[in-house]
Chains A and B, each alone.
Chain A
Amino acid sequence: MKRSGRGPWPYLFLTPAMVLFTLFLAVPIGYTVYLATRRTKVSGLGLGKGARREVFVGFDNFAAALADTELWRGWLRVLGYGALVLVVMLGLALLFALLLDSARVRLARFSRIAIFLPYAVPGVAATLLWGFLYLPSLSPIRDVLDVDFLGATTVTYSMANVAVWGGVGFNMLVLYTTLRAIPRDLYEAARLDGASELQIALRVKIPILAPAIVLTTVFSIIATIQVFTEPTTLRPLTNTISSTWSPLMKVYRDAFVTGDLYSAAATSIVIAAISLVLSFGFLRVVRHHAFREG
């Protein structure tokens, strides 16, 4: 490619992306930051015209969000839930990908689709589906197994189960696609050296898969931090999930249930900052191993 004399073309091609980016990402983020520094101030009864005005409060909302114990308890709950989901979901995804890729598997096509299919079910539908399976008087599982799926501790596992069920397929597909791209002669070479299928998987496939594993992990970390659909959909069915179970649920509650857009904006910025730190922190830790570069 010629590097000089490109003229205005690159910018022209960039314009649509930049316009969309500005309109739908930069401006809303800017507005959120603006809202986060404000608050309504009411005087007297707060009824009628002019009784309520918006004032600048600086970092008050952020300070309140950071000092909110309920928010941190939410983080703890999500951390436990996330650890569970990440390990089980990615573990299963890797296992399935390796199994499907191994030479001896039967019904590969069918299994692949069967594992992937739950990913195509929208989160709300999947959660409702599982919700019905969890409810004591409706669940066919409860007929055989006497477990309260919606109890105070079990409910976390029940939600993690929904997330794993829906997420394994997608992650498996990412890993599986990467596996299929590995040149077959690598395995042949390994076999000539006397490696078993298991050894090939552990010593050849997984190291080559490392970047893809990192990618799926980052995606999954971000997704679990933002967990909202599962607890929100299950909440009407049980009294073990509070309106502030996860940090995002608290944002939703503040903004739309208790009508405090301002602290919701501040909290969502705090959440964004934490997810950035977590995902980039993870990348930093593993980059060296996964990509063999600085």
Chain B
Amino acid sequence: MRANRLGAALAVALTATLASCGSGEPAQSPEAATGRPASSAAQGPVKLTYWTWAPNMDKIVKVWNEAHPDIQVTVSKQAGGDDAAAKFLTAAKAGNPPDLVQAEYQHLPSFIAADAVADLKAETAAIKGEFSEGLWRLVTLGTDAVYGVPQDSGPMMLFYRKDLFDKYGIAVPKTWQEYGDAARAVRKKDPKVYLGTFSSKDPGAFTGLAQQAGAQWWSISGDSWKVAIADEPTRKVADYWGALVKEGAIDDMPYFTPEWNKALNDGKLLTWPSAVWAPGVLSSNAPKAKGKWAVAPLPQWNAGESYSGFWGGSSTAVSAKTPNKAAAARFATWLNTDPAAIDLLVKEAAIYPAATKAQSALGQAPDYFSNQPDFWQQAAAVSAGARGFTFGPNVGVTYNAFKDGFDKALQNGTPFADAVQGMQDATVADMRKSGFTIAS
């Protein structure tokens, strides 16, 4: 008898704990609950919630709120990355999404496929010309609809340790061929130092490199998707890095780990093919090396070309379920096209703006790169040659297959091209399972 009663008490205690755990979890922050009825717009200001992870966005929104008493926006700071995308999709499915969301270009198609973001075609007709055609395609997927307003873009460049390049007597590589030669040269000069590393944890970086080579992983033709992740340019990129890793010319430690930070700080890694937002990462992860890094265009596949790809970049999308679509679209438009707002985005949120005019108006180089006053001019030049592609509706699957596939390739020493084929197979299998029409 006593044991039973004890058991019951335990059950109560357990349920109580479970209950308290449960209540902390979901996205029902007080802000999320405020984006309420449209009909009441006449009675008070429209209230919008905005999920974003851009730093200092609350300061920028404050400027809007002061100028627009009828549309009040509340920022809800998110963790960013793939987790933020998953959270938004879950919230949309649960029926309580925010009114506005920061959507990375590669995740936007999954948002669209889940019917979680609104078509802003009418609301954005006037601002289409503010953005380059390539960026605009990322928010339309080449269809008639417009699913977001481009905010920032991440053209890729080559970041390198200028001081150590001088020390080891290495010239800045103009082609990937030269990059490989330089990698071998560095190993000979100092076996503890690598020119670079291949990260199996960052599909975004690999995607950008594949774009530079001319990959077209997804495309839409008529009413069907075309998936070509294992296309010739991608395999070329994979084989190139696979060979360098295999012969030990470059390292295979993942980016954004404590070990990577240490290698950057200690000058054990000399380059990082990254995107225009790299100064922010470097300044917080490798503060000791401030002023020692410089930037150059990515090495090219053929001498004389000037191509690049994109790593990251995001848009502002409006939730399909919001009762205040017009107000939300107005805010998204202001945020990403109004000169004052873009100025704030650059200064406060440290982004590289998507709007074409703003890109050329950038002045002072980031603090970390104070030794390179032409930083933004370099970026603008690179940006002009950057090419992207339409992302598919299940990038999550593809990126996960990248991580697992390249993890395995690094571990077992198997060809990188196999991992690329694995990405293609996993992506197609998932799309078929869901019922997407795929052109073969």
| B109 surroundings in chain A (CB, below 8 A) | 47
| B393 surroundings in chain A (CB, below 8 A) | 42, 45-47
Q: Which of A131, A135, A258 contacts B394 (CB 8 A)?
A: A258
For residue B68, CB closer than 8 A to chain A, the reply is: no
How far apart are the CA atoms of A21 and B257 in the complex, in Å? 41
Most buried by A among B90, B114, B225, B257: B257
For residue A56, CB closer than 8 A to chain B, the reply is: no
Known: A49-B115, A243-B404, A259-B110. A236 touches B254 (CB 8 A): yes
- Sample of 5 further A-B pairs with CB below 8 A, known A20-B12, A52-B115: A25-B18, A137-B263, A236-B256, A256-B83, A257-B399
Pick the interface stretch among B209-217, B309-317, B372-380, B405-413: B405-413
For residue B397, CB closer than 8 A to chain A, the reply is: yes
For residue B89, CB closer than 8 A to chain A, the reply is: yes
For residue B440, CB closer than 8 A to chain A, the reply is: no
Q: How large is the interface on A (under 10, 10 to 19, 20 to 34, 35 or more residues)?
A: 35 or more
Q: Which of A135-174 contact B (CB under 8 A)?
A: 135-138, 152
Q: Which residues of A contact B (CB under 8 A)?
A: 16-17, 20-21, 23-25, 40-52, 131-132, 135-138, 152, 236-237, 239-244, 253, 256-261
Question: Can you give 9 contacting A-B residue pairs, CB < 8 Å?
Answer: A20-B12, A25-B15, A42-B113, A47-B393, A48-B112, A239-B200, A239-B408, A253-B400, A260-B430
B436–A45 CB distance below 8 A: yes
Question: What are the 3 closest A-B residue pairs judged by CB atoms, nearest first?
Answer: A239-B407, A256-B86, A20-B15
Instruction: Across the interface, name the chain B residue whose C-beta is closest to A64.
Output: B433
Instruction: Across the interface, name the chain B residue whose C-beta is closest to A252.
Output: B86
Q: Which of B145, B224, B403 contacts A243 (CB 8 A)?
A: B403
For residue B343, CB closer than 8 A to chain A, the reply is: no
Most buried by B among A48, A241, A258: A258
B436–A236 CB distance below 8 A: no
Q: Which of B390-422 contact A (CB under 8 A)?
A: 393-394, 396-397, 399-400, 403-404, 406-408, 410-411
Q: Which of A138, A242, A256 contacts B262 (CB 8 A)?
A: A138
How far apart are the CA atoms of A20 and B20 in the complex, in Å? 11
How far apart are the CA atoms of A136 and B252 in the complex, in Å? 13
B400–A258 CB distance below 8 A: yes
How far apart are the CA atoms of A259 and B399 in the complex, in Å? 12
Determine the main DSSP class of B at the interface with A: helix
Interface size on B, residues (CB 8 A): 57
B437–A44 CB distance below 8 A: yes
For residue B39, CB closer than 8 A to chain A, the reply is: no
B82–A47 CB distance below 8 A: no
How far apart are the CA atoms of A243 and B203 in the complex, in Å? 14
B115–A51 CB distance below 8 A: yes
| A52 surroundings in chain B (CB, below 8 A) | 113-115
B411–A44 CB distance below 8 A: no
Q: Which of B113, B220, B254, B394 contacts A237 (CB 8 A)?
A: B254
For residue B93, CB closer than 8 A to chain A, the reply is: yes
Instruction: Across the interface, name the chain A residue whose C-beta is closest to B89.
Output: A259
| B406 surroundings in chain A (CB, below 8 A) | 239
For residue B19, CB closer than 8 A to chain A, the reply is: yes
How far apart are the CA atoms of A241 and B114 in the complex, in Å? 30
B259–A138 CB distance below 8 A: yes
Instruction: Across the interface, name the chain A residue whose C-beta is closest to B19.
Output: A24
| B408 surroundings in chain A (CB, below 8 A) | 239, 242
How far apart are the CA atoms of A45 and B89 in the complex, in Å? 19
Most buried by B among A239, A260, A261: A239
For residue B30, CB closer than 8 A to chain A, the reply is: no
| B40 surroundings in chain A (CB, below 8 A) | none
How far apart are the CA atoms of A259 and B435 in the complex, in Å? 15
Q: Separation in Å of the A25 CB from the closest CB of chain B?
A: 7
B435–A42 CB distance below 8 A: yes
Instruction: Across the interface, name the chain B residue whose C-beta is closest to A256.
Output: B86
Instruction: Across the interface, name the chain A residue whose C-beta is closest to B255.
Output: A236
How far apart are the CA atoms of A258 and B407 in the complex, in Å? 18
| B11 surroundings in chain A (CB, below 8 A) | 17, 21
| B24 surroundings in chain A (CB, below 8 A) | none
| A40 surroundings in chain B (CB, below 8 A) | 434
Q: Which of B112-163 contact A (CB under 8 A)?
A: 112-115, 119, 141, 143, 145
Instruction: Across the interface, name the chain B residue whose C-beta is closest to A240.
Output: B411
Known: A20-B19, A21-B15. A45 touches B396 (CB 8 A): no
Q: Which of B16, B114, B259, B410 contacts A20 (CB 8 A)?
A: B16
B113–A46 CB distance below 8 A: yes
| A152 surroundings in chain B (CB, below 8 A) | 411
Instruction: Across the interface, name the chain B residue whose C-beta is closest to A151.
Output: B411
